C-alpha cells in the first residue's frame, strides 16, 4: 500500500504526475488546490473564503485546510492508498497529518519531492491550461491536448487558471520557499523523502516515480 505526498513548487508537475500515479496505482488523487477551485466554482462559503487567499497567492489558513483533508482521508476509497497533491504545505499541516494518519491507520509511506529549476517553472506556469471540469493540466508547447482547447480525459474546456499570472506566481514561489520547503527536511528526518528530477520530459519523470513506487504494485 502507498500513501503518498507530492511536494514541489508551483509548476513542478504535481498535478500532472498525480493524474498518472492515481491511474496507474488506482488510488485517489487528493489535491487541495483542486478542492478549493471546485468550492470557488460552486460559490460555497469555503470557496468564498479560499478565493480571498488564492487570488493573492497566499495559503488558505491551516485550520480550514486540515479539516478538509481530514474529512477526505477518512473516506473509504483511501483505505488502500492515497495521493496528496499540495498538502501538507506548512509545518502545522504536516504535524496534523501525522496525527490523522495514526488515527486512521493510514500513515504516509512516501514523500516525492519534485525538483525543478525556477526558469523552467515560470515557463510551465505561463504556458499552462487546465480543464475547467476535471482540473487536468496541459501546456501550450510541452503537453498539448489531442484536440485544441479540449481535455483528453473528460472533454471539458481548457482555460487559464486565475492565479497563473506573473504577480501571483512571485508570491506563490515566495510562500513555497518560506513555508513548504522546510517540510522536506522534516520528512527527511523520518526517512520518507525520494527526490525526483522534475526538469526531465514528462515520461521520464513518471518513469522515475514508477521506479521508486514500482515494486509496490
Ligand atoms: P495548487 O493548485 O496546488 O497550486 P501550486 O502548488 O501552485 O501548484 P500548481 O498546481 O500551480 O503546479 P503543479 O505542480 O501541479 O504543476 P502542473 O502539473 O500543473 O494550489 C493553488 C493555491 O491553493 C495555493 O496557492 C494556495 O493558495 C491554495 N492551497 C492549496 N493547497 C493548500 C494548502 N495545503 N494549504 C494552504 N493553501 C493551499 O504542471 C505545470 C505545467 O507544466 C502544466 O502546463 C504541465 O503540462 C507542464 N508540465 C508538467 N510537468 C512537465 C514536464 N516534466 N515537462 C514539461 N512540461 C511539464
Ligand atoms: Mg497542481
Catalytic residue among 37, 106, 124, 172: 172
Quickly tell me which residue has 479560499 as its cell: 50
Burial class (CB in 10 A: 0-12, 13-18, 19+), 171: middle
What total number of domains does the chain contain? 1
Instruction: Indicate whether this model's pTM tops 0.85.
Output: yes
Tell me the pLDDT tens digit for each residue of 40-72: 999 999 999 999 999 999 999 999 999 999 999
* Domain containing residue 112: CATH number: 3.40.50.300
The answer to whether residues 101 and 23 touch, using CB atoms and an 8 Å cutoff, is no
Element housing 31 (H / E): strand 29-31
103 CA distance to ligand 1 centroid (A)? 29
Question: Is residue 138 a part of any domain in this protein?
Answer: no
Per-residue pLDDT, 214: 79
Q: Percent of the chain at pLDDT above 90? A: 94
* d(C-alpha 31, C-alpha 66), whole Å: 13
- Give the domain extent around 63: 2-116+194-213
Q: Is residue 132 part of a domain?
A: no
CA of 113 to the centre of ligand 1 (A): 13
Reported as a single tens digit per residue, the pLDDT across 142-197 is 899 999 999 999 999 999 999 998 889 999 999 999 999 999 999 999 999 999 99
Contact 172, 180 (CB under 8 A): no
Pick the catalytic residue from 14, 37, 51, 124: 14
Q: With a cut of 70, say whether residue 215 has pLDDT above it.
A: no
pLDDT for 216: 58
72 part of the active site: no
Active site residue 102: no
Tell me, yes or no, whether 36 lies in a domain.
yes
Task: Tell me, using a 6 A CB cutoff, whether residue 135 lines ligand 1.
Answer: no
Average pLDDT, stretch 71-91? 97
Does residue 168 lie within any of the structural domains?
Answer: no
3-28 pLDDT per residue, tens: 999 999 999 999 999 999 999 999 99
In-domain check, residue 180: no
With beta carbons less than 8 A apart as the criterion, state whether 180 and 14 touch: no
pLDDT value at position 166?
87
Amino acid at each position: 500500500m502507498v500513501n503518498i505526498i507530492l511536494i514541489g513548487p508551483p509548476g513542478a508537475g504535481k498535478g500532472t504526475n498525480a493524474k498518472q500515479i492515481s491511474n496507474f496505482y488506482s488510488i485517489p488523487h487528493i489535491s487541495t488546490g483542486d478542492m478549493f477551485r471546485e468550492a470557488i466554482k460552486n460559490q460555497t462559503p469555503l470557496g468564498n473564503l479560499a478565493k480571498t487567499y488564492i487570488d493573492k497567492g497566499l495559503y488558505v489558513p491551516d485550520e480550514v485546510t486540515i479539516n478538509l483533508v481530514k474529512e477526505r482521508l477518512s473516506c473509504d476509497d483511501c483505505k488502500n492508498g492515497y495521493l496528496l497533491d499540495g498538502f501538507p504545505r506548512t509545518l502545522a499541516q504536516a504535524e496534523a497529518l501525522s496525527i490523522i494518519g495514526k488515527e486512521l491507520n493510514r500513515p504516509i509511506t512516501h514523500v516525492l519531492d519534485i525538483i525543478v529549476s525556477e526558469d523552467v517553472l515560470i515557463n510551465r506556469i505561463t504556458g499552462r491550461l487546465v480543464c475547467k471540469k476535471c482540473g487536468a493540466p496541459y501546456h501550450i508547447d510541452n503537453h498539448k491536448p489531442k484536440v485544441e482547447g479540449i481535455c483528453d480525459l473528460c472533454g471539458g474546456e481548457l482555460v487559464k487558471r486565475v492565479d497563473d499570472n506573473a504577480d501571483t506566481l512571485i508570491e506563490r514561489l515566495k510562500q513555497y520557499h518560506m513555508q513548504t520547503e522546510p517540510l522536506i527536511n522534516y520528512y527527511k528526518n523520518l526517512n520518507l523523502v525520494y527526490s525526483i528530477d522534475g526538469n526531465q520530459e514528462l515520461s521520464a519523470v513518471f518513469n522515475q516515480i514508477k521506479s521508486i513506487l514500482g515494486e509496490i504494485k
